[in-house]
Amino acid sequence: MSYVDEALEKVKAKNASEPEFLQAAEEVLESLRPVIEANEEKYRKEALLERLTEPDRQFKFRVPWVDDNGQVQVNTGYRIQFNNAIGPYKGGLRLHPSVNTGIIKFLGFEQIFKNSLTGLPIGGGKGGADFDPKGKSDREVMAFCQSFMTELCKYIGADVDVPAGDIGTGAREIGYMFGQYKKIKSCYEGVLTGKGLSYGGSLARTEATGYGLLYITEELMKCHGESMEGKTVVISGAGNVAIYATQKAQQMGAKVVTCSDSTGWIYDPNGIDVALLKEVKEVKRARLTEYAAARPGAEYHEGRGVWSVKCDIALPCATQNELHLEDAKLLVANGCKAVCEGANMPTTIDATKYLQENGVWFIGGKAANAGGVATSALEMSQNSERLSWTFEEVDSKLKQIMVNIYHNIDDAAKRYGQEGNYVMGANIAGFEKVAEAMIAQGVV
Ligand code: NDP
Ligand code: 2IT
């Protein structure tokens, strides 16, 4: 049996109850086949794939807090430190009722390769809790964040593990967590990224994931003799990534006609009004029905449906497994040319294959959404040198990083005779640096 198959069998046997982690691990290991096969005995002897798929350590802890009625609530907190071969663990904190060990583990695993692709010295980690910030008062969110950090602070540090935002964790949550870390540790350090600008945050971090997604999409189009100008774009989600992806796409001359949240979606044939979307989602924290109510010509639909809208480019920016095989078929039938993932693992494996086999240019999340964590690493650099850079400086570095990622993944795919397979290219390019660092550092 080949070493990849052997390792895959072990991963499946060990993690049978974690479908999202298995999905992520299978995608990566399958696409590493040509690299592993070229050095089969060496990698088997090193047990490299077993080491890569087993986290360095994982923490799971109780998070008790008191709600506005005086009732004690209990959530479960997580932090998985997956791999620190190339730098301190780095990755976001997801606050969503669906969070469990398998979800955090898939996100932490993907983060290893994504972070490597940025070219910056950051390892892979992820965390979060099954807490739902929706409908909670600011005081309740603060109580949760303080309790969460009271435990998390034992495991993190500016040179150890640096968490950041993800679904449900934005500037408000990071602020409360940073305050509690500082209070307990009496230490003012860059232990979190995505901080507010008045206490060590970086300009352009808020925009970075969405902007980065558009920078790599633009480079992809350019390298195929196309531009963003005049293109129709469909985007899912209405959070941090979706909002700034929409804004940048519009700045590039494209028209974004959809957004969505967990209850429904908007079709706005005149192009999404970003200022209104921000007001509804960032300020009022309200549902998309409020967007439709305030915007003449916009339609609100219950449930899912953004992938049924005719488009040139589709950018899934909400959550994992939100673009299924039937959606991929609709996109292809409607003439969609490119799909680039702003979210983590939004496209199922069969949908990805269908898109690739039908000539759609497909860039997976590990490459396409790496702009967020890359800019987090730039925030870490600014914190270390106790300086802050201008918006333009950070934004131009972000753009360069995304353009470099495109060419690195394109080259890696070509080196293995798989031109245009950007998923394989990303997994290989991300893996090569981590594997070299792991082997150089011995069996640890
Ligand atoms: P936000 O919490 O800001 O927004 C998430 C959006 O997705 C909301 O509109 C939310 O709707 C929707 N959504 C979340 N879960 C579901 C679900 N189960 N079903 C349907 N819709 C859902 O998160 P972000 O924008 O930060 O994150 C979006 C994606 O991008 C995630 O996959 C995240 O891991 C990834 N990502 C984020 C980065 C960042 O820097 N923030 C960096 C790289 C990747 P509702 O409000 O109704 O819940
Ligand atoms: O999925 C991701 O890359 C993030 N949520 C951002 C992580 C970070 O450390 O900025």
pTM for the predicted model, two decimal places = 0.98
Q: Quick one: DSSP state of residue 202? A: P
Q: Which atom of ligand 2 lies nearest, measured to the CA of 205? A: 10
Q: What is the pLDDT along the chain (444 residues), one digit of tens a residue?
A: 999 999 999 999 999 999 999 999 999 999 999 999 999 999 999 999 999 999 999 999 999 999 999 999 999 999 999 999 999 999 999 999 999 999 999 999 999 999 999 999 999 999 999 999 999 999 999 999 999 999 999 999 999 999 999 999 999 999 999 999 999 999 999 999 999 999 999 999 999 999 999 999 999 999 999 999 999 999 999 999 999 999 999 999 999 999 999 999 999 999 999 999 999 999 999 999 999 999 999 999 999 999 999 999 999 999 999 999 999 999 999 999 999 999 999 999 999 999 999 999 999 999 999 999 999 999 999 999 999 999 999 999 999 999 999 999 999 999 999 999 999 999 999 999 999 999 999 999
The pLDDT tens digits of the residues spanning 184-228 come to: 999 999 999 999 999 999 999 999 999 999 999 999 999 999 999
Tell me the ligand closest to 126's alpha carbon. 2
| The pair of three-digit structure tokens given for residue 370, joined into one six-digit string | 């790496």
Is 295 touching ligand 2 by the criterion CB < 6 Å?
no
The whole-number pLDDT of residue 335 equals: 98
Q: Catalytic: which of 90, 126, 136, 195?
A: 126
126 carries an active-site annotation: yes
3-state class (DSSP) for residue 144: helix
Nearest ligand, measured from the Cα of 376: 2
Which SS3 state, helix, strand or coil, does residue 256 take?
A: strand
Atom of ligand 1 nearest to the CA of 318: 7
For 312, phi then psi, to 5°, come to: -90, -35
Per-residue confidence (pLDDT) for residue 79, from 0 to 100: 98
Reading the block at residue 385, the tokens are 């040198």
Give the dihedral of Cα atoms 100, 106, 112, 118; nearest 10 deg.
-100
372 C-beta closer than 6 A to ligand 1? yes
The four Cα atoms 27, 28, 29, 32 give a dihedral, to 10 degrees, of 120
| Alpha-carbon span 141 to 29, nearest angstrom | 39
Most informative mutation of 93, 111, 113, 122 for ligand 2 (most atoms within 8 A of CB): 111
- What is the 102 CA–ligand 2 centroid distance (Å)? 17
H or E element at residue 92: strand 89-95
Instruction: List Cβ neighbours of 194 (8 Å cut-off, separation of 6 or more).
Output: 164, 165, 169, 170, 171, 174, 201, 205, 206, 376, 379
* pLDDT (0 to 100) of residue 304: 96
The CB of 378 under 6 Å from ligand 2? The reply is: no
**Per-residue pLDDT, 266:** 98
150 C-beta closer than 6 A to ligand 2: no
